[in-house]
Amino acid sequence: MIMEQLNKTFETKSGKRIAARPLTRYDAPYLVDIFEHMSPESRYRRFQQTLENPNTKQVWEEAEKIAQMADEQQGGFIAFWQRALLPDIPVGAARYVLLDAETAEIAMSVRDDMHGQGVGTWLLRLAVAEARAEGIHKLVGNALNDNDAIWRVLDKMGYPYTRKPDGATSEIVMDITG
């Protein structure tokens, strides 16, 4: 991992100090916490399905599956709001999962009270930098066509991407070789 080469801290637009570190196998509780602090609309935009009252057991199982995936199969970061004299709060995560030697699927989640603060863009930049360092050339994903926030984030990244609409969603392919 190239974490030591990346800017591990970030200050939000509202002045909160955020720190990121690589995802670990012990991060399931933090991933669940981020999920629990996402509104049904945010969950729908992220997972492209209605998740108003999800089964708690299924949420935990999915978080554990993500956290315990082998390092050789994935990379990514989890971010925490660092509060003086109080416990840190998980605010977002971005990760990629290898599909082949040069392609990975990318995903990102940010809790609702951190939307619009630059956290998602910063986390995505960390994940893209790490993916590039690992020799990945393309990142792929899906997004709802009306998810203006993700399209703004992708535009800020500075990498060329294609968007192939299919109904309410678009397949995204980002070339990160440049």
At position 2, the amino acid (one-letter code) is I
Q: 29-55 pLDDT, tens per residue?
A: 999 999 999 998 888 888 877 777 788
Per-domain boundaries in the chain:
3-175
The C-alpha atoms of residue 75 and residue 1 are separated, in whole angstroms, by 8
Bridge partners (DSSP) listed for residue 175:
138
Residue 1 has pLDDT above 60, yes or no: no
pLDDT at 2 over 50: no
Measured CA to CA, the distance from residue 65 to residue 47 in angstroms comes to: 16
pLDDT at residue number 71: 81
Write down the pLDDT at residue 6: 53
Q: pLDDT tens across 52-73, in order? A: 778 889 889 989 999 988 788 9
> Does domain 3-175 correspond to CATH entry 3.40.630.30?
yes
pLDDT, one tens digit per residue, over 75-131 is 999 999 999 888 899 999 999 999 999 999 999 999 999 999 999 999 999 999 999
C-beta separation of 43 from 115 below 8 A: no
Lowest mean pLDDT among 42-46, 134-138, 161-165: 42-46
